[in-house]
Chain A
Amino acid sequence: MGGSVLPLGFLQVGRDAVVRELGNGRNLTQRLLEMGIVRGTRVRIIKNDMGGPLIISIGDGRLAIGRGMALKILVEEESKA
């Protein structure tokens, strides 16, 4: 552990990370919470073109997340296994 904290949208495909901070904006936060993204949630980047939306995995589920939102979610990257 002990990776750096950075926006979710910056992560490369295949990387794992733990959510540290959800951006502000109450509707946004609520929606993310109820869709399973809370502080401490482990996510993996399935697809990220560094432009346009990305796909992340949370457990067995897959979420599409718009770029704007992905830049507001801060995560801590897990060091490569």
Chain B
Amino acid sequence: MEAAQAIENEKQIVVALAGNPNSGKTTIFNSLTGSHQQVGNWPGVTVEKKEGQLVSEGKVIRVVDLPGTYSLGAYSEDEAVARDYILFEKPDVVINIVDTTNLERNLYLTTQLLEMGANVVIALNMSDELKAKQIDINVAKFSELLGIPAVQTVGTRNQGTKELVLQALQATGNKKPRVVQINYGKEVETELAALEQDILSNRQLTENFASRWLAVKVLEGDQGILKGLAKYSGLDRLLVRRAEAVKRLEGLLGEDIESLIADKRYGFIGGLAKEVVTRRQTTEERFSMSDKIDRIVTNRYLGIPIFLLAMWTMFQFTFKVGDPFIGWIETFFEWFGGVAGAWLESAGMPELLMSLIVDGIIGGVGSVLVFIPNIFLLFFAISILEDSGYMARAAFIMDRLMHTLGLHGKSFIPLLIGFGCNVPAVMASRTLENKRDRLITILITPLMSCTARLPVYILFAGAFFSANQGLIIFSLYLLGLVLAILMGMLFKRFLFKGGTSHFVMELPPYRVPTLKSTFIHMWEKGSSFIRKAGTIIFAVVVLVWVLSNLPVGVEYASQESILGWIGSFVAPIFKPAGFGTWEAAVALVFGILAKEVVVGTLGVIYGAGEAGLTAAIAQAWTPLSAYAFMVMTLLYIPCAAVIGTIKRETNSWGWTGFAAAYTLVLGWLMAVLVYQFGRLVGLG
């Protein structure tokens, strides 16, 4: 402990990981720090900065993983996080993770880091895939030409990372990193020199930034950077100068300034690549394996059916494989409840305490834990989906449909993430460049059915639709998705008028997920569910149990208990939807804290053992009202964690309230519609 403290006090070395999206930053971050941050095969997985620690050579290094970015221009919120960190936090070393299979594009960011005078170490990542393409990079020469250290790595196999850390440690001693200068051509250079003179006379700016780099950024008119610099005085004058310079240059050279500068950068990069890259393959492959798969998967007619089939398979897998486990766990809890009860009784445990353990904890938390196998299996399937590269394709397929509705194909990725959990899904909206698109996506994401709602579906579908369980549950997932898209369209039409923004997105190659990584991802997400069961679900279930015993002397979990009062107060609202019992109402009320609690509450009320629970539910609901209840659970008010995230991401109580209110109304309307329509056609 003390030794750790001593190390703590020494000045920590801060190393930031920066690079293009999907280049493998988080993979390397995880292997450096032993963290388990989310990795996935699509651009924009990481949307906030994550920190971890690493001890090497007796030194503690603080490692910071950043969202991916193509430049420092920052169009979207996640890119702004990366830009701000690199510009203003000034890490000791920036490890620039480069996807070598897209070397030239990746080096575009590198050139800017180097111009900035950042202390850069380059990781030439994905070198396994490069090798498979029969391409070689002369690392020594690359490093020599750029004048900075470079290491070949394979993030997924933890190759080269040790060397990377050593290089980074060495680089920290480097107080004057080499600043790479790109020659932008005579005319541009003249203007740059003039701007740089201006900058040099501004103490505030020169103290913080390399003057040459800043001159380039100002001339280029990089909005992201200029916005970030707005707080410094004297910027206005620079901008006036810039406008004059741009006019002169564009008149002289007949091209817009951004293109002029970018051309030179790519010229520099191209020259470098020519020196260090050799392709051993002589005949070029016109269409890669990924292209061939894309022909089918993104086909204009087959695309959506294939997507639906993939979803259907995912849910079938979750049930068919999970079903036998449920039976075993149920039996276990029933047995455990009985044995524990008997044992506690013989030990002379007070009756109240016994009820807490048997009815409250085993009945409530146990009834949720029964669904662990299904939840793990769903996470297993989601993790395959995320690692395969299909996520970006789904966005592609949906772009056409979403576009006609005024939405953005990229919005579809947060929606898909929502199948796992709505919290990261809401955060994933950060990748959308346009503020309106982002807000719409945040508002509709909670309609996506997350794993927390799965226990409710399995319980009810198991009680009423055991023959078509998979189909019933699939229909709920689909309903959530369809309503999300429809609501998005409505919001776009009535709340956020305006054109749709442009869609450009990198499509990563398909990768076969390894069994190991899939299991690790499943375990990560699954264990967070178990943790949730041990914390929030546990706490709420105990609260529900307490309320079902109050006021003192009341019959346990009866309508006269406080729990009963709350339920009876709310219940009339749900009468038109077919589930106007106080038990159903109170389960929904507490379910706002966490959706699993809907099941937990019913478990506390109806007593231990899932078989008992199923029987009780079969009494209190009809198949039709059960379906309406599931629809309600799917749609009404996002859970507390999601509400918190919406508040944080929109920074507005107004929008947060709106999200809660509209989902409640929508949920109620849909539940009533289902029930009344069902009765009309004679299903009731």
Contacts and interface: CB of A to CB of B under 8 A. Distances in A.
A29 B258 contact: yes
Interface residues of B, number: 46
A27 to B, nearest CB: 6
Interface residues of A, number: 37
Interface in A14-48: 14, 22, 26-36, 38-40, 44, 46-47
B505 A47 contact: no
B287 interface: yes
B250 interface: no
B634 to A, nearest CB: 30
A67 B105 CA distance: 22
B256 interface: yes
Contacts of A64: 392, 395-396, 399, 409, 503-507
Contacts of B105: 35-36, 58-59, 61
Interface string B475-502: 0000000000000000000000000101
B392 A59 contact: no
A58 B500 CA distance: 25
8 contacts: A27-B433, A31-B504, A33-B258, A34-B70, A35-B70, A36-B104, A36-B105, A63-B504
A40 B288 CA distance: 23
A30 B73 contact: yes
B108 A34 contact: yes
Given A35-B70, A61-B102, A66 B504 contact: yes
B290 A62 contact: yes
A79 B531 CA distance: 62
Interface string B290-314: 1100110010100000000000000
A2 interface: no
B70 A66 contact: no
B141 interface: no
Interface in B255-290: 256, 258-259, 262-263, 266, 286-288, 290
A59 B104 CA distance: 9
Nearest to A72: B502
A69 interface: yes
B294 A47 contact: yes
Which 7 pairs between the two chains have the least Cβ-Cβ distance? Answer: A66-B503, A52-B400, A36-B105, A34-B71, A33-B262, A34-B70, A62-B507
A39 B259 contact: yes
B101 interface: yes
A62 to B, nearest CB: 4
B507 A38 contact: no
B73 A52 contact: no
A49 B71 CA distance: 31
Which of A22, A30, A38, A67: most chain B Cβ within 10 A? A30
Residue with the greatest number of chain B CB neighbours at <10 A, chosen from A35, A49, A64: A64
B672 to A, nearest CB: 37
A58 to B, nearest CB: 7
Interface string A63-76: 11111110000000
Contacts of B298: 47, 55
A62 B504 CA distance: 11
Contacts of B287: 46
A66 B102 CA distance: 21
B394 to A, nearest CB: 11
Contacts of A59: 102, 104-105
B162 interface: no
Given A38-B259, A46-B291, 11 more contacts: A26-B221, A31-B70, A33-B262, A36-B105, A39-B259, A49-B300, A53-B503, A55-B294, A61-B105, A62-B507, A69-B504
B105, B263, B295, B400 — most chain A CB neighbours (10 Å): B105
A51 B503 CA distance: 14
Contact of B258 (A30, A44, A63): A30
B73 A35 contact: no
Nearest to A40: B263
A66 B500 CA distance: 11
A41 to B, nearest CB: 8
B505 A68 contact: no
Contacts of B500: 68
Given A22-B259, A61-B105, A31 B75 contact: yes
B90 interface: no
Contact of B507 (A33, A39, A63): A63
Contact of A53 (B101, B221, B409): B409
